[in-house]
């Protein structure tokens, strides 16, 4: 079997889809058909060598096929420009026919004016209608052709002309409205620049088409330019607006080694980068491909509407036939009156408004999500997001930064160090001489000076926490495996280490033990800074919370979605972070199978989502009803496998997705209610003989315009309610992380270095 993707410029409505489905679906060589009305693309699975037969079938229904090569972007061509001059002439002629009728002019004059109007704007409608009838398909063109012809036959020439004119005007307005939805997706392609400045082999710079860039090329970017391909900065630095990819509102600083993405904008400065992905493999290309696939897939609501329409249209056509025949035969009603009523029913019968309402809404919502850095892989997830009752979060790298940082530095007072160990006289004298300078030195600077000489993760976190301030010179530095480090600073010996080091050196005191216990109870790694005469301070290191994590949890709670945390980290650390974020259910020491069990235990309450990094949490993400991959920008695996890929590391976008899903469902329900409600009203009016052909046209095409306009509102929808903006994390000085009950200790760290 072979897959052929065909772009069909005339295929922009369920009318054309039904015609093609009937024509191609009956071919023995065709296995499957997949319609993407928003981009006018038909995907056909057929037998090898049958492509020409398929294309001939498309031409047979009056449409022009264009085969798309490979994975070319499935954007639709620009629509044909409407023939407004002919439409204007048809409108004038229709108005003259109405005026002639009311003026009492001869019927022949009225008929000539009306016929001229119909010919000026209705030939294309008749052509499409004839193709539909020939293929045994009663679409809107066939029904409109029958209605106008019937009106002329029973002598309603002015109304026949005006109905054809109004129908064509409304069709053009509807086409323009649908193009807004198409252009929203097509605009993603326009984000990538057509050219780039590439370094040549001789060292010169030359502007080349972006499509020619290959992996390894060096590209220069000037201020204000868009980046042409994914890459890594090799020279220079700047701030880059990444909102097109990640949805971030603020520019991101870029320097040597940082990743840049195609379609992002260099805000200031100039830099060079090495291309890491060709044009068709960039993050932007993967986003466009994912959005196209999601838009083309049928959401549950759309599948329901398709089934409903297959029953609805034949039923109304049968009703129209009964309305035309039964009253004259049973109650001697005039045939002209009965036929007129039946013609109105035929026009109302077309389900275009009902069928087109869903894809317009889904595409608008998918585009709105992608603009915010939320990549949804299908309409089914967009619809089901509103049903989420629980969202489980991984801790490390999702709600936290994923690397340790200095969180506390607590001073231990001299008077509370307790008895010091015995020492030789010389050592005691040296310690006494240095005692005053020991206490006068900055403990934070002392700890950072020792830590900066070590490669241990805890030491690196302490060194980073000191910032760029000058450090002391350290002499006679030595690592103490399994214990810590030591070194001499300005003639005095210092140690930075764990409980084992403190115990072996005899520096245990109640104050030190209390400080260590309190910090470790919060899931932090605590080490002591000690001089020769005992402990000076205690430093604590822990994974820190992302700035927006607390707000993300508050937003979900405001939407009525409950949260839990599942992590492989130790239980104390997990509970400490969960308490800081307001998550009531937190589980640590979780193996992959434990996470699966935790998710399944919540599924009896409703749908469950899982947010993680897309790799380490793969089993849980796969088992969840909706899996959210965090930080997927540049990660092809996450974009390919996640149900919802969040292009940056902002956990608030989980709540934004839920809000957008609810908005989408609300609009879908509104559109279905509008389409069915308005048609039901006019069907009743038509059966009662109170609906004119004009009213029938407005009931059909007018409803289509309403649902399209309502669906387009989703381009700006989906903002979740912001939660209470409490402090994200606490410093040791505010009482949040400070050891409780340690009156003998004093906090020295006044701010978290990562905030």
Q: Which of 626, 717, 670, 669 is nearest to 387 (CA)?
A: 626
Instruction: Label residue 32 left, alpha or beta by phi (over 0 means left) and psi (-120 to 50 means alpha).
Output: beta
Decide if 3 contacts 45 (C-beta within 8 A): yes
Rounded Cα distance between 368 and 360, Å, is: 12
Rounded Cα distance between 104 and 110, Å, is: 9
Strand intervals (E) in 504-643: 525-531, 534-545, 562-566, 585-587, 607-612, 626-629
3-state secondary structure 507-519: CCCHHHHHHHHHH
Rounded Cα distance between 697 and 559, Å, is: 41
Rounded Cα distance between 753 and 688, Å, is: 76
Q: How many helices (H) and strands (E) does the chain have?
A: 25, 27
Decide if 189 contacts 244 (C-beta within 8 A): no
Decide if 675 contacts 709 (C-beta within 8 A): no
645, β-bridge pairs: 375, 629
Decide if 143 contacts 347 (C-beta within 8 A): yes
Determine the straight-line distance between the first and last CA of the chain, rounded to whole angstroms.
57
Farthest-apart Cα atoms in the chain, separation: 133
65, β-bridge pairs: 8
> Token pair for residue 527?
């080490």
Can you spell out the DSSP letters for 58-80? Answer: HHHTT--EEEEPTT---PPPPPP
Q: What is the CA radius of gyration of the chain?
A: 36
- The answer to whether residue 533 is catalytic is no
Alpha helical stretches, state H, 332-424: 335-349, 352-371, 379-384
**What is the separation of C-alpha 443 from the centre of its chain, rounded to a whole number of angstroms?**
47
Q: Of the listed 230, 241, 394, 554, which one is catalytic?
A: 394
The DSSP H or E segment spanning 11 is none
Rounded Cα distance between 575 and 520, Å, is: 12
Provide the b/e sequence for 185-220 (b: ≥16 CB within 10 Å): bbebeebbbeebbbeeeeeeeeebebeebeeebbbb
Decide if 536 contacts 633 (C-beta within 8 A): no
Rounded alpha-carbon distances, angstroms, from residue 110 to 46, 76, 146, 149, 186:
52, 42, 20, 15, 46
Active site members: 394
């Amino acid at each position: 079997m072979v897959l052929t993707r065909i772009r069909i410029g005339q295929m922009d409505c369920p009318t054309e889809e039904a015609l093609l489905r009937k024509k191609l679906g009956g071919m023995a060589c065709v296995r499957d058909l997949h319609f993407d009305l928003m981009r006018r693309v038909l995907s056909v699975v057929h037998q090898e060598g049958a492509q020409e037969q398929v294309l001939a079938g498309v031409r047979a229904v009056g449409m022009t096929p264009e085969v798309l090569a490979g994975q070319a972007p499935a954007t639709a061509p620009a629509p044909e420009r409407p023939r407004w001059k002919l439409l204007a002439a048809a409108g004038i002629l229709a108005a003259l026919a109405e005026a002639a009728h009311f003026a009492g002019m001869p019927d022949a004059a009225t008929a000539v004016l009306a016929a001229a109007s119909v010919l000026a704007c209705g030939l294309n409608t008749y052509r499409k209608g004839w193709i539909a009838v020939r293929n045994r398909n009663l679409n809107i063109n066939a029904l409109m052709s029958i209605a106008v012809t019937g009106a002329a036959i029973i002598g309603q020439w002015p109304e026949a002309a005006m109905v054809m004119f109004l129908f064509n005007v409304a069709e053009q307005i509807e086409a323009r409205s649908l193009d807004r939805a198409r252009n929203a997706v097509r605009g993603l392609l326009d984000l990538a620049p057509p050219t780039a400045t590439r370094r040549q082999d001789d060292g010169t710079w030359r502007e080349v088409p972006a499509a020619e860039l290959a992996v390894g090329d060096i590209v220069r970017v000037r201020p204000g330019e868009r980046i042409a391909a994914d890459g890594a900065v090799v020279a220079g630095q700047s701030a880059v607006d990444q909102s097109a990819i990640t949805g971030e509102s603020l520019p991101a600083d870029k320097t040597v080694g940082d990743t840049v993405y195609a379609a992002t904008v260099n805000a200031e400065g100039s830099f060079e980068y090495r291309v890491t992905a060709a044009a068709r493999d960039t993050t932007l290309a993967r986003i466009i491909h994912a959005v196209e696939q999601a838009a083309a897939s049928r959401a549950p609501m759309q599948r329901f509407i398709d089934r409903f329409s297959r029953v609805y249209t034949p039923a109304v056509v049968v009703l129209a036939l009964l309305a035309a025949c039964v009253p004259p035969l049973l109650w001697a009603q005039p045939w002209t009156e009965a036929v007129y009523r039946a013609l109105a029913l035929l026009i109302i019968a077309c389900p275009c408004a009902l069928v087109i309402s869903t894809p317009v809404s889904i595409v608008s919502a998918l585009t709105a999500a992608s603009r915010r850095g939320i990549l949804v892989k299908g309409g089914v997830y967009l619809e089901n997001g509103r049903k989420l009752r629980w969202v489980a979060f991984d801790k490390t790298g999702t709600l936290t930064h994923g690397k340790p940082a200095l969180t506390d530095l607590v001073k231990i007072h001299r008077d509370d160090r307790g008895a010091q160990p015995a020492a030789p006289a010389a050592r005691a004298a040296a310690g006494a001489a240095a005692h005053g300078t020991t206490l006068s030195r900055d403990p934070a600077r002392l700890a950072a000076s020792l830590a900066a000489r070590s490669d241990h993760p805890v030491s690196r976190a302490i060194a980073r926490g000191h910032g760029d301030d000058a450090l002391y010179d350290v002499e006679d530095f030595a690592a103490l495996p399994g214990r810590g480090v030591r070194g001499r600073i300005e003639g005095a010996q210092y140690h930075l280490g764990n409980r084992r080091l403190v115990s072996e050196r005899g520096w245990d005191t109640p104050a030190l033990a209390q400080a260590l216990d309190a910090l470790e109870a919060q899931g932090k790694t605590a080490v002591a800074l000690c001089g020769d005469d005992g402990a000076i301070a205690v430093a604590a290191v822990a994974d820190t919370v992302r700035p927006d994590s607390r707000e993300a949890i508050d937003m979900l709670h405001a939407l009525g979605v409950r949260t839990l945390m599942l992590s492989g980290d130790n239980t104390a650390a997990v509970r400490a972070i969960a308490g800081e974020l307001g998550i009531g259910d937190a589980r640590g020491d979780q193996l992959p199978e434990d996470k699966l069990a935790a998710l399944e235990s919540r599924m009896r309450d409703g749908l469950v989502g899982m947010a993680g990094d897309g790799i380490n949490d793969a089993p849980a993400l796969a088992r969840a009803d909706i899996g959210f991959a965090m930080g997927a920008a540049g990660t092809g695996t996450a974009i390919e496998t996640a149900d919802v890929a969040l292009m940056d590391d902002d956990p608030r976008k989980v709540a934004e997705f839920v809000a957008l899903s609810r908005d989408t469902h609300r609009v879908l329900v509104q559109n279905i209610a509008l389409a069915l409600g308005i048609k039901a009203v006019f069907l009743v009016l038509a059966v009662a003989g109170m609906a004119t052909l004009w009213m029938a046209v407005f009931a059909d095409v007018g409803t289509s315009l309403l649902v399209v306009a309502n669906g387009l509102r989703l381009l700006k929808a989906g903002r979740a309610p912001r939660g209470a903006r409490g402090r994200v994390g606490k410093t040791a000085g505010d009482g949040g992380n400070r050891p409780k009950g340690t009156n003998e200790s004093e906090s020295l760290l006044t701010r978290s270095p990562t905030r």
